[in-house]
Amino acid sequence: MSTSQSRTRAIAEITNRVPVPALTPQPLEKIWATDVFNLATMEEKLSKNAFKAMKKTVQTGVALDPATADVVAAAMKDWAMAKGAKFFSHVFYPMTNITAEKHDGFIVTNAEGNAITEFTGSLLIKGEPDGSSFPNGSIRMTNAARGYTAWDPTSPAYIMQTANGATLMIPSVFMSWTGEALDKKIPLLRSNDAMNQAAQKVLALMGETEIATLNSSCGAEQEYFLVDTHFANSRPDLVLAGRTLFGAAPAKGQQFDDHYFGAIPERVQVFMQDFEDKLYRLGIPAKTHHNEVAPGQFEIAPYFEAANVAADHQQLMMTLLKNTAREHGFMCLLHEKPFAGVNGSGKHVNWSVGNATQGNLLDPGNTPHENLNFLLFCGAVIRGVHLYGPLLRAVIATASNDHRLGANEAPPAILSVYLGDQLEKVFDDIKDGKLTGSMQGGDMDLGLTQILTFKRDPGDRNRTSPFAFTGNRFEFRAVGSSQSVSGPLVAMNTMLADSLEWVAENLEAELKGGADKATAVIAVLKKLMEEHGNVVFGGDGYSAEWHKMAVEERGLKNIPTTADALGAFQEESVKALFSNTGVLSDTELASRYEVYAEQYILSIEVEAKLVVEMAKTSVYPAALAYIKSLSGANAGLSGLSLSLDSSVLESVVAQTNALLGATDKLSAAVEKHDFESTEAHMHFCAHEICPLMLEVRGYADALEAEIADELWPLAKYREMLFIK
C-alpha cells in the first residue's frame, strides 16, 4: 500500500471508528479531589498536632519539623497504598518545559526475606535522582551528577492512575549538590517570597496593621489542537516536532469564524468529559471549555489557584491532555503554531496577588480612585512591565512561540500594558497630580423588557495587548501554549517585588516629609507614571502604527525572535533584579540563558533535519511519480499526434528542481557548527536556517497544490483540521 493510500484508509477508519463511550457522569462531590492528599484528607488522616503544623506550612510557608514529616510520610503511604499505589515519585520541573519523575517502591525486605513497606520523613523530604541528564546550563559537569529533589509541602501530593497501576506523586523542587536551582519551582517559590516581603512593607506604610502572608495567584487558559491519530501518526513532523513543517492552505480555513465558540463536536465532548473527570479527581478545578478560533482548536481554563499549585496543576494538565487525547484516538498538539495560516495556540496567564487580610490587591472595587492600596499595586505592575519588558519577552521566548507573536493573531512582540478606559483615566489624573473620580460602566439596557439589565464593565477588553488588566488581575497573553507558566510567573512576581520596594522607599520618604496618605500616594504614583507611563497603551496592538510609535516615540522594544530576546537574561539590570530579590543568583540566571538558548537551537535543528528528510523522502518521490505519469500520458498521446499542454509538467519539474536546490542549501546549513558564540548560533538559526526551511516549504506546498491527490503522501490540512 502506498502512503497516499494510507491517507484514504485513514479517512475510512475515522469514518467507521467505534466511538469511545461517554463516561457516566459522576456527581462532583463524589469525585472531587479523591486522589489528592490535600488539607481535607490530612485533617482526616493526621493527628491534630501534625495537621496543625502542616496547615501552617501550607498557608504561610514556615518550615515543618522532621518529626511531623515522619508522621505525614507514614499517613501518606497508608493513604496511597489503600488506593493501590506501590510506588512513589518525586515530581519535578527541570528547566525545560517538561515534568520529570523517578519512581521508587515502598518495598524493602527484612532479614527473613519478607517484603515490608517503608516510607519515612526523610524519604519524603529528599530524593536523589541521578540528575546528570537534565539540562543544567553548565552548573555541573556530567561527572558531578548529584542532584536532589525535595518535597514541596505547599503543593499537595496526589495519586497518578495509569493503566498499569497507581503511583503516589510528590511535588518537589530540584537542585544541584551545590544547592543551585535546576528547576522552575525554586525560583517561583522564591519570587513569591520576595513579592510578599516587599508587599508587606508597602501595606505597613499604608497603615495596615494586620497583614497576612501574600501569595500570587494564577489561572492559565490552555489552548490546544486535536488531530486524529490516524493522520497525526502518518506525519513525521507532527510526531517529532509537534507541528506541520509542510502543508498547503486548504480552500476553507478559519475565514468564516464558524468554529469559535461553536457547538463542540460530539467526539471532542466525550474526550473533554473524560479529561475533566480526571482533573476533578486530582483536585484541578476545570471551569471553562470551548472551541477556539481555528478549526480543530479548543481551550480549557481552570479556576485560579495559588501560583505554585496552579503551575504544578498546569504541568499535570498538559500531561493529562496528551494522554487522555491518545485514549480517544487524538493527538493533542500543544505547539504554538501547528498549522501555518490558521491561528496558533497561546496560554493566557491570569495573575494577581493577595492575602487573607487585604484580599486581592489588584481588585479596584467600584471606585478605584479611592482604593489607594490598589493604585499602588497596579502602578507597581506598570513600572515593572516598563522596566522589565525585555525580560517578560525573554521568558516567553521559544522557537515555537516565535511563530505566533506578532503574527496578527497573537499579541505583538512589544510589551505594553492595557488598563481599560476607567483606569487609564485614573492614572492620567494622577499624572496631573489629582484623583477626581472613576468612570462607571453604567447599566446595560437593551430596551427589551424580557432581558434583565445588568451592570456593564467600566472598561472594554483589548485582545491585541500582550499584558492587559482584566478587572481584578492582569492577563499576560503572550505566553505560549506549550510552555510552563512558571517562567512568566517568576518574572511577574519578581518585577512586582522590585517595584513594590521602590514604592515603599518613595512612600516612606513622602510620609516622613509630612504628607498625608492620599497625598503621598499621588506623589509617588505621579513620579512613577512620569517615568513609566509610556508603557500604557490602549489602542490596536496589531497595527503597523503602533509598531512604529512604540519603538520610535515610546522607546519600547520590539523583539521579534528568541535569538534577540534571550539576551535579556544577560543584561545587568536583569541580573541585579534577580540577585537583589534573591530569586536567582548570577550563576543560576546564566545557566538558564544557556539552557533556553540550547533548547532553541536544538528545536530548530531538529525541524531543519526533518524538513530535509521529508522533502527528500516524501515530497520528491511524489513529484517524480507525478512527472512520470504526466510524461507517460504525453508519450501515449504522441501516437495520435496529440500532445498535452506542457505547462503543468514544466511547472512541476521546475518546482521539483527548486525544492532539491533549497533542500541542499538547508542541509549544508544544518551541518555548520563552528560558531563563535551561542548567540551567533541562535542568530544563524533565526536568520539563515528558518528562512531556508520556509523556502523548501514554499516549493513543497506549491507541489502539493499541483500533484495528483492520490499521489500525495502527507495528510492534508483539510483532512487534519476538519475530519473528526
DSSP class of residue 619 equals: I
Interface positions, 358-377, toward ligand ADP (CB under 6 A): 360
Q: Which residue lies nearer to ligand ADP by CB, 63 or 356? A: 356
CA 361 to chain centroid, in Å, comes to: 24
Residue 218 contact, options ligand ADP, Mg ion, none, Cβ 5-8 Å cut-off depending on partner type: ligand ADP
Q: At 89, phi and psi to the nearest 5?
A: -150, 135
Which residue type sits at 381? V
Q: Least distance from C-beta 541 to Mg ion, angstroms?
A: 15
> Which of residues 288, 436, 440, 651 is near ligand ADP by CB under 6 A?
288
Q: Which partner, ligand ADP, Mg ion, none, binds residue 360 by CB below 5 to 8 Å per kind?
A: ligand ADP
Piece of 272-280, 295-303, 447-455, 702-710 that binds ligand ADP (CB under 6 A): 295-303
Give the span between the Cα atoms of 314 and 485, in whole angstroms. Answer: 7
SS3 143: coil
Query: How far apart (Å, rounded) are the C-alpha atoms in residues 634 and 636?
Result: 5
Point out the residue whose Cβ comes nearest to ligand ADP. Answer: 219
Residue 3 vs 59, nearer CB to ligand ADP: 59
- Is 292 one of the binding residues for ligand ADP (CB under 6 A)? no
- Nearest residue (CB) to ligand ADP, 195 versus 597: 195
> Between 416 and 656, whose beta carbon lies closer to ligand ADP?
416
Minimum distance of Mg ion from residue 406's CB (angstroms)? 19
Stretch that binds ligand ADP, among 38-46, 259-267, 302-310, 422-430 (CB under 6 A): 302-310
Residue 384 site contact among Mg ion, ligand ADP, none (CB < 5 to 8 Å, cut-off depends on kind): none
Residue 107 phi/psi, 5° resolution?
-75, 140
Q: Please say whether the beta carbons of 457 and 441 come within 8 A.
A: yes
Phi, psi of 577 (to 5 degrees): -55, -50
Least CB distance to Mg ion at residue 246 (A): 32
Give the type of residue at 294.
Answer: A
Site for ligand ADP in 209-248 (CB under 6 A): 217-219, 221
Q: From the CB of 97, what's the least distance to ligand ADP, in Å? A: 20
378 vs 584, beta carbon nearer ligand ADP: 378
Please pick, from the candidates 53, 58, 301, 325, the single residue that binds ligand ADP as defined by CB under 6 A.
Answer: 301
Rounded CA separation 90/170 (Å): 5
Residue 281 binds which entry of Mg ion, ligand ADP, none, CB below 5-8 Å type-dependent:
none
Name which of 298 and 578 has its Cβ closer to ligand ADP. Answer: 298
Return the number of other C-beta atoms located less than 10 Å from residue 510's C-beta. 20
CB of 471 to ligand ADP, least distance (A): 8
Nearer to ligand ADP, 221 or 588 (CB): 221
Report the residue closest to Mg ion, judged by CB.
348
One of 79, 134, 280, 304 touching ligand ADP (CB under 6 A): 304
Q: How many CB atoms lie within 10 A of CB 690?
A: 19
Task: Tell which phi-psi region holds residue 457, choosing left (phi > 0), alpha (psi between -120 and 50) or beta.
Answer: beta
Nearer to ligand ADP, 302 or 533 (CB): 302
The distance of closest approach from Cβ of residue 472 to ligand ADP in the complex, given in angstroms and rounded to an integer, is 5
**475 pairs with which residues across the strands?**
350, 468
Q: Which is nearer to ligand ADP, 492 or 497 (CB)?
A: 492
Name the binder of 699 from Mg ion, ligand ADP, none, CB < 5-8 A by kind: none
485 near 97, Cβ under 8 Å?
A: no
Contact letters for Mg ion, residues 434-463 (x by CB under 5 A): ------------------------------
Q: How many Cβ atoms are within 10 Å of 638's Cβ, its own excluded?
A: 9
C-alpha cell at 431: 499624572
DSSP 313-364: HHHHHHHHHHHHHHHTTEEEE--S-SSTTS---BEEEEEEEEETTTEETT--
153 binds, among ligand ADP, Mg ion, none (CB under 5 to 8 A by kind): none
- What's the CA gap between 58 and 52, in Å, rounded? 10
By beta-carbon proximity to ligand ADP, the closer residue of 185 and 313 is 313
Cell representation of residue 630: 504526466
Whether 300 and 286 have beta carbons less than 8 Å apart is answered as: yes
Cα 526 from Cα 509, distance rounded (Å): 14
162 phi and psi angles, rounded to 5 deg: -130, 175
Choose between 323 and 472: whose C-beta lies nearer to ligand ADP.
472
Q: How far is the CB of 465 from Mg ion (least distance, A)?
A: 11
Rounded CA-CA distance 376/374 in Å is: 5
CA dihedral 293, 269, 84, 283 (to 10 degrees): 60
- What's the min distance (Å) between Cβ of 448 and Mg ion? 29
Total residues at interface with ligand ADP (CB under 6 A): 16
Smallest gap, in angstroms, from Cβ of residue 539 to ligand ADP?
A: 20
- In the complex with ligand ADP, the residue whose CB is nearer, 485 or 649, is 485
Closest among 215, 488, 180, 513 to 362, alpha carbons compared? 215
Q: Give which of 613, 599, 598, 603 is closest to 667, Cα–Cα.
A: 613
Task: Of 632, 629, 478, give the one whose Cα is nearest residue 541.
Answer: 478
C-alpha closest to that of 192 among 491, 476, 393: 491
Q: How distant, in Å, are the alpha carbons of 45, 52, 173, 307, 314 from that of 64?
A: 17, 11, 16, 21, 26
Which does residue 288 touch among ligand ADP, Mg ion, none (CB within 5 to 8 A, set by kind)? ligand ADP
Q: From the CB of 459, what's the least distance to Mg ion, in Å?
A: 15
Pick from 303, 359, 433, 586 the residue near ligand ADP by CB under 6 A.
Answer: 303
The 8-class DSSP code of residue 462 comes to -
The answer to the question of residue 473 lying near Mg ion (CB under 5 A) is no
Tell me whether residue 303 or residue 454 sits nearer to ligand ADP (CB atom): 303
Q: At what angle are helices 486-512 and 372-394 packed, to 10 degrees?
A: 140
Encoded one letter per residue, x for contact with Mg ion by CB under 5 A and - for no contact, window 321-350 reads: ---------------------------x--
Using the rule CB under 6 A, which residue among 197, 273, 472, 570 binds ligand ADP? 472
In sequence order, what are the residues at sequence separation of 6 or more whose Cβ sits closer than 8 angstroms to the Cβ of residue 157? 36, 37, 76, 80, 168, 169, 170, 171
Interacting positions 386-425 with ligand ADP (CB under 6 A): none
With binding defined as CB under 6 A, does residue 473 bind ligand ADP? yes
Of 250-258, 299-307, 517-525, 705-713: span binding ligand ADP (CB under 6 A) = 299-307
> By CB under 6 A, what part of segment 335-354 binds ligand ADP?
348, 350-352
Residue ranges that bind Mg ion, judged by CB under 5 A: 348
Query: Which residues of this protein are in contact with ligand ADP, per CB under 6 A?
Result: 217-219, 221, 288, 301-304, 348, 350-352, 360, 472-473
